[in-house]
Structure 1
Amino acid sequence: MLELHRRLLPAVIAASAPTPCFLPSRGALRLPRSRPRRLRGKPSSTVRAVAGPGPVVGGAPAPEMAQREVARVLADQAVAWLGPRLLPSAVPADVAEFRSSAGNAVGSLDVRRGAPGSSIDFMLQSSLHCKVPNGAIDITSILIFLNALTDAPHFLLELIQGSPTSIVVILDLLPRKDLALHPDYLQMYYENTQIDQQRGKIEELPQARLYRSPSLFVRSACSPTAVMVSIDCGQGGERAFEEIVRGQLATVTQEVLQIWLDNCADSTADMEETERDCLLKRDRIVRTKSIEVDLTANLPRMFDPDVSNRVITEIRRAFGVQEA
């Protein structure tokens, strides 16, 4: 859903010449399947060694950030659990890592398709570091989409950081059915899993405020249990911010992912042809809307045409959406 491009990047572009892009959460820690690892304190040397060097912007490495560490551990949690359900990455080198011609932004993208017979369609990891006149903007995304073997929800995480002490969090199991028309679906994936408790753990933080997307489409596509908050610790609140990201936020994102892994990743569903057609149509609309509004409207304004075209083409391929 890449909410970043709809709300934040137009303002960044208007304010400066930087050209943002994606950068994947790479590297991994070996995590147990049953319980997610908790992140607290400073990032360990193990995390940094496995993850490799950070992106380079204008000749200098991007700073280590708590949200990137959270995403690295989360991605490894998913990869360790899914195992052979995921194929190796086949993203071209010039899309796996790319940069702006001005050198002030660097990004990369990683996509792993689901293995034949698996209910996994693809897992996409991306993140961004872009220098702007008054600081930097950093975004990390993890999407795990399912195919038509199941009607279970997709997994979505976006972390959009615009300052050293503030971040927008979008975390959800994206429904693939109209919840009002399918109360059994609502009960199975959202009530029985008690996932709404995780939303409450973030929203009860004093520094958290509800985030309302300016897009009615985004708001209608998300579930009622979605975590959509802005966490702002204010000027001088760097320490409190780090503790929240590595503490409560890390815990909630890993708990939500584990709920998805336990209840959705391996699910299958017997559907009639018309029901499956409706499911595919909904998926196609969500994916197409994300690409058209979030990517094709903004990436060409951030990168040279050849770079943006390569990235958009690869994401279209992952989403299974052909250019009209």
Structure 2
Amino acid sequence: MELHNQGRTKFMEFPYVSAPHKNLMVDLVSTVEARLDPQLFPCTLPHDVQSYHNHNGTSHASLHIRSGHNSSPIDFMLGSWIHCQLPTGGALNITSLSTYLNSSTDAPYFLIELIRSSPTSLVVILDLPPRKDLVLSPDYLKTFYEDTKLEAQRQLLEKVPEVRPYFSSSLYIRSVVSPTAIVVRIEAEAVERMEEIMGEHVHPVAKEVLRIWLEQCACVKREVDEAEKDYLQKRDKFVKTKTIEIDLATSLPRLFGQETADRVTAAIQEYFSS
């Protein structure tokens, strides 16, 4: 428990982002833990994985993973932040929270990632990624994306003048998000305006999407037969493997060096492959 508490304290500091950015992440993580804590084990990652940096001190990161009990539909929750000083003098800050479900349910995951490449530039990825083919599963589409009115949340952010669609360079990533995914770039003229957008627009939308996920996905029992469980296990494993290949295998060695990257990736793979 001491290992968990020390790591969580470091993770929840979000020391390199602005107050509205930190408030959003702390609110989301705290909300997930308040609702799901009885179903989650403490974080048992080693100290040098919960908090790590590169040799010259220009990149720092924190990782927090809590796996779900066997009787829970929660596979694990994963939160992280990365700070990297850029050669141009600025900094890249990435904060993320994802919650994965196991094959006892076919409900979507929850995912948010905030990528800030400058004080006035932000990419927001906020989604409940589907775990079934929506073309072949119209009831799934209706249950999780139409009836929940997720599209209304996307449209709320779209009305903000500084918000524009963002298209990932990875076709794979663009193929796994839902039709209601919020994937946008926000370019503000001033830092103060960016913080206003973060607090008054991004935060309430993210909080509502998380509420929908908790109430309609994480805490609703779904009937899944053995064939469906097998399908979900195979699909989930593939998605997690590709996440490591695309997200971590290229960026971590560049930011933290190969030795640290291997150590962190190996720890994450234990959760992704279980």
The reply to whether TM is greater than 0.5 is: yes
SS in 1 for 2:218: coil
Matched to 2:178, the amino acid is S
What's the CA shift string for 1:112-143, capped at 9, x where partnerless?
00122000000000011111122001000100
What's the CA shift string for 1:249-285, capped at 9, x where partnerless?
0000000000000011123332232222221121111
1:127–1:188 distance in 2 versus 1, CA, 3 Å: same
Counterpart Cα distance in 1 of 2:164 and 2:117: 15
**1:16-35 → structure 2 map (5 Å cutoff):** 26=8
- 8 Å contact from structure 2 (residues 164, 186) kept in 1: yes
Q: TM-score, normalised by structure 1?
A: 0.79
Q: Please, which of 82, 87, 95 is the counterpart of residue 36 of structure 2?
A: 82
1:165–1:118 distance in 2 versus 1, CA, 3 Å: same
Name the residue aligned to 2:213: 260
SS in 2 for 1:187: helix
- 8 Å contact from structure 1 (residues 210, 230) kept in 2: yes
- Unaligned ranges ≥5, structure 1: 1-24, 29-49, 56-61
Counterpart Cα distance in 1 of 2:257 and 2:222: 43
What's the CA shift string for 1:139-167, capped at 9, x where partnerless?
00100000011000000000000110110
- 8 Å contact from structure 1 (residues 171, 226) kept in 2: yes
Q: TM-score, normalised by structure 2?
A: 0.92
**1:100-139 → structure 2 map (5 Å cutoff):** 100-134=54-88, 135-139=90-94
Please tell me whether residue 273 in structure 1 is matched to residue 226 in structure 2.
yes
What's the CA shift string for 1:6-38, capped at 9, x where partnerless?
xxxxxxxxxxxxxxxxxxx9559xxxxxxxxxx
Counterpart Cα distance in 1 of 2:102 and 2:198: 31
Matched to 1:118, the amino acid is S
Report the CA distance between 1:63 and its aligned residue.
Answer: 5.4
Counterpart Cα distance in 2 of 1:216 and 1:106: 29
Q: Please, which of 37, 51, 62 is the counterpart of residue 97 of structure 1?
A: 51
Counterpart Cα distance in 2 of 1:140 and 1:68: 9
Q: Please, which of 208, 214, 217 is the counterpart of residue 172 of structure 2?
A: 217
Counterpart Cα distance in 2 of 1:111 and 1:260: 19
Return 296-305 or 275-284, whichever deviates more.
296-305
Report the CA distance between 1:51 and its aligned residue.
Answer: 4.7
SS in 1 for 2:114: strand
Matched to 1:149, the amino acid is S
Counterpart Cα distance in 1 of 2:111 and 2:123: 14
Name the residue aligned to 2:185: 230
Name the residue aligned to 2:130: 175
Counterpart Cα distance in 2 of 1:63 and 1:123: 21
Counterpart Cα distance in 2 of 1:136 and 1:199: 28
Structure in which a larger fraction of residues adopt helix: 2
Instruction: Supply the RMSD in Å over aligned alpha carbons.
Output: 1.9
Report the number of matched residues: 267
Report the CA distance between 1:238 and its aligned residue.
Answer: 1.1
- 8 Å contact from structure 1 (residues 68, 140) kept in 2: no
- 8 Å contact from structure 2 (residues 59, 256) kept in 1: no
- Unaligned ranges ≥5, structure 2: 1-6
Structure showing greater relative contact order (alpha-carbon pairs closer than 8 Å, 6 or more residues apart) = 1
SS in 2 for 1:102: coil
Matched to 1:158, the amino acid is E
Q: Percent identity?
A: 43
